A and B are shown apart, each in its own frame.
Chain A
Amino acid sequence: MNVLVLSNLYPPDFLGGYELGCRQVVEALRDDGHAVTVLTGNPRQPTPAEPNVLRRLRLADIYEPYLQAITSTTIHAGRYVEANGIQASNVYVLIETLREVDPDVVYIWNTVGLGGVGLMATVQHLGYPWVMHVMDDVPRALCSLPFRVRPEMAAAFARVLRGRYLCCSRTVLREIVAAGFPIAPQAEIIPNWVTAPGTPDRTEWMAEGHLRIVNAGSISTNKGVDVLIRAAGLLRDRGLADFSVDIYGPGNDPQFPNLIRELGLDDHVRLRGLRTQSELAEMYSTYDAFAFPTWEREPFGFAPLEALAHGCLPVISRVCGLSEWLVDGMDCIKAERTAEGFAAAFGDIMQNKVRFHELARRGMQTVLRTFHLSAIYPQIRKALATAANSPREAAGSPEDAYRLALLAERMAYAMVQDSLAA
């Protein structure tokens, strides 16, 4: 197969698991003998050139907190149009690349920042079959023009864009459908994966009875870092003090160090800063439990799976994307997303009320057998091959597509201007 991958960012420039996952699948496809070209956004920092990775698309970085803080509502709204709706210049680049590569299938990842709706509409207009890998509610984000989903936009999105969707969980699919995108008939659910070989020969947990808890990801209340810190406080107050919590990730929100100080947990909870994925992978086998008190709308989360591959047992929120893949009491522990709930779960581990070693060992085997990319990849390849074999029906020429893009861009700006003036 000849595959064109579209993604807003591509490692080494990345934000999280979405982009890292994209690279892993691209490598798997190449290893399997497929020709893969990646078309992605301009990197946010200098990156070395790579063969078949074209960093040509203009990225409207709406994730940059500094720009979010200093721009006015009007400018911010304009950036949303560029990021989510359409950038005619990116449509032009895409048309040129499609002409160059002439792929059998276009494999779309996160296109927020590139004018994703415009790019997807162009692919559809030119009759290329496409598959979108959904690891977040990207369709909803793309149709937020600006700040909220316009129902007419959502309906048009689902009606016009007739590709296939690979969603990482039913949770994220339901969220997208509930936001007004009836994509379920075109969707297939494929879980996220690990690529690491793990530590299958691990035999030791909780050395000297000390529970070592780790958390990695963005440090925010959405990810439940405050819940974790408060849970640590409750554990210590109950006399179960033989534990430590290490939190890795980016974030400079002062509320978390303040909370640690306020609760007097400096000896137990440490914010350890950002680490690379490979550094974390090396460290997971030195921890016993991975705390994941994330919010309900978490689509999946790569980190707990990666930790489990190294025998670091996830203690996760009962309701989140990952909880529809791991089984409570078999290969993870699920807890109510409260400090009390997580403290109780850790307390049970420390008081040997759960068969921790057994769970960790079984979980590790499950991940390496069921969630390894080698097990997931055939499903991805099949979905791409099915799409590639579907008939091409172009609605118009590349020139038409570009003219429409220019028109749509102007109309989008006019609509946003009108809605802000109203």
Chain B
Amino acid sequence: MDFEFYNVTSPPSGMKRALIPFQRMARRVLRPMLHRLRDLLTLISQKQSETADVVACLQGRLNFLEAQTAKVTSEHKALELDHLALMRRAAHLEELLLQSLAQKSDAAERRIPSLPTLGSVESSNGSFRKAS
């Protein structure tokens, strides 16, 4: 009988020797389960490490996206302010234009003499008189 496996300190003797077949049987029964368990644990460990890699990758992408979002937000803010400035300027210029047009039309109205009535006749000095 090979006792090597159990021979930790000294060969078993007495009652211990009688237990060996049971221990061997238990080992035979448990061995595949333990092997399976080992395989499962190895698989889980691998998956965990893969997941950690994925998480690190996602974290990197998230950081990148956050930076991009901050940049886009800042650019959007800048664009919004520039647009606001442009709108204000356009409104101001439109106001000036309207004022200037109003002034121009006032001046033009002052320049145009009153229109001659129907039946009036232009005299030699350029003024109008009522036709007789």
- The chain A residues found within 8 Å of chain B, CB to CB, are 170-171, 318-319, 323-328, 330, 334, 336, 366, 369-370
Secondary structure class of chain B's binding surface, majority of residues: helix
Indicate which residue in B85, B89, B92, B96 contacts A323 across the interface (CB closer than 8 Å). B85
B residues 49-86 touching A (CB-CB < 8 Å): 74-75, 77-78, 81-82, 84-86
Provide the bound-state CA to CA distance between A171 and B96, in Å.
Answer: 26
Name the residue in A327, A336, A366, A370 with the highest tally of chain B Cβ atoms < 10 Å from its Cβ.
Answer: A327
Give CA–CA (A325, B89) in the complex, Å.
8
A325 → chain B closest CB, angstroms: 5
Contact assessment for B78 and A370 in the assembled complex, using a CB-CB cutoff below 8 Å:
no
Chain B, residue nearest A336 (CB)? B74
Q: How many of chain B's residues have a CB under 8 angstroms from any CB in A?
A: 13
B82 near A334: Cβ-Cβ < 8 Å: yes
* 20 more CB-based (< 8 A) A-B contacts, given A319-B81, A366-B89: A170-B84, A318-B75, A318-B81, A319-B78, A323-B78, A323-B82, A323-B85, A324-B81, A324-B85, A324-B88, A325-B88, A327-B82, A327-B85, A327-B86, A327-B89, A330-B89, A334-B78, A334-B82, A370-B89, A370-B92
Q: How far is the CA of A323 from the CA of B83 in the complex (A)?
A: 10
A-B contact pairs, 23 of them (CB 8 A): A170-B84, A171-B81, A318-B77, A318-B81, A318-B82, A319-B74, A319-B77, A319-B78, A319-B81, A323-B78, A323-B81, A323-B82, A323-B85, A324-B84, A325-B88, A326-B85, A327-B82, A327-B85, A327-B86, A328-B82, A330-B86, A334-B82, A336-B74
Contacts of A171 in B (CB 8 A): 81
> How far is B81's CA from A325's CA once the two chains are assembled, in angstroms?
8
Residues in B neighbouring A336, C-beta threshold 8 A: 74
Within 8 A of A (CB), among B75-132: 75, 77-78, 81-82, 84-86, 88-89, 92, 96
Closest to B78 in A: A318
Assembly CA distance A369 to B95 (angstroms): 13
Q: Across the interface, which residues of B come within 8 angstroms of A366, CB to CB? A: 89
For residue A328, which residue of chain B has the nearest CB? B82
> Looking across the interface, which residue of chain B has its beta carbon closest to that of A332?
B85
How many contacts between A and B, using CB within 8 angstroms?
A: 37
Which residues in B have their C-beta under 8 angstroms from that of A328? 82
A4 to chain B, nearest CB (A): 31
Q: Collect the chain B residues with CB atoms within 8 Å of residue A323's CB.
A: 78, 81-82, 85
Interface centre among A324, A366, A370 (most CB of B within 10 A): A324
Instruction: Report B103 CB to chain A, min CB distance, Å.
Output: 16
What is the minimal beta-carbon distance from B85 to any residue of chain A, in angstroms? 5
Residues of A within 8 Å of B75, CB to CB, are 318
Complex CA distance for A319 and B89, rounded to whole angstroms? 18
In the assembled complex, which residues on chain B have CB atoms less than 8 Å from the CB atom of A319?
74, 77-78, 81
Cβ contacts under 8 Å, B92 to chain A: 370
Residues of B within 8 A of A (CB): 74-75, 77-78, 81-82, 84-86, 88-89, 92, 96
CB distance from A269 to the nearest CB of B (A): 26
Give me the 4 closest cross-chain CB pairs, A-B, nearest first. A318-B78, A324-B81, A323-B81, A327-B85
Point out the residues of chain A lying under 8 angstroms from B85, CB to CB: 323-327
- Whether A318 contacts B84 by the Cβ 8 Å rule is no
Output the nearest chain A residue to B71 by Cβ-Cβ distance: A336
The CA-CA distance from A103 to B89 in the complex, in Å, is 35
Q: How far is the CB of B107 from chain A (nearest CB, A)?
A: 21
User: Which B residue's beta carbon lies closest to that of A370?
Assistant: B92
- In the bound complex, what is the Cα–Cα distance between A323 and B77 (angstroms)? 10
Q: Closest A-chain residue to B79, C-beta based?
A: A318
Chain B residues lying within 8 Å of A369, measured Cβ to Cβ, are 96
Cβ-closest chain A residue relative to B93: A370
Distance in angstroms from A152 CB to nearest chain B CB is 31
Q: Complex: how many Å from CA A318 to CA B82?
A: 8
The minimal Cβ–Cβ distance linking A59 to chain B, given in whole angstroms, is 35
The complex places the Cα of A369 from the Cα of B78 at a distance, in Å, of 24
Taken together as a complex, chains A and B put the C-alpha atoms of A325 and B88 apart, in Å, by 7
- Quote the shortest CB–CB distance from B87 to chain A (angstroms): 10
Which residues of A lie under 8 Å from residue B74 when comparing CB positions?
Answer: 318-319, 336
Of the candidates B77, B81, B84, B89, the one having the most CB atoms from chain A within 10 angstroms of its own CB is B81
Q: What is the bound-complex CA distance between A208 and B77, given in angstroms?
A: 37
Give Cα distance in the complex from A329 to B88, angstroms. Answer: 16
Chain A residues near B96 (CB, 8 Å)? 369
Could you tell me the distance between the alpha carbons of A313 and B42 in the complex, rounded to whole angstroms? Answer: 68
CB neighbours of B77 from chain A (8 A)? 318-319
Residue of A nearest to B89 (CB): A327
A370 CB contacts on chain B under 8 angstroms: 89, 92
Q: In the assembly, what is the distance between CA of A325 and CA of B78, in Å?
A: 12
Nearest to A337 among chain B residues (CB) is: B74
Residue of B nearest to A191 (CB): B88
Nearest-CB residue, chain A, relative to B92: A370
Name the A residues within 8 Å of B84 (CB-CB): 170, 324
CB distance from B91 to the nearest CB of A (A): 11
List B contacts of A334 (CB < 8 A): 78, 82
CB A53 to nearest CB in B, in angstroms, measures 34
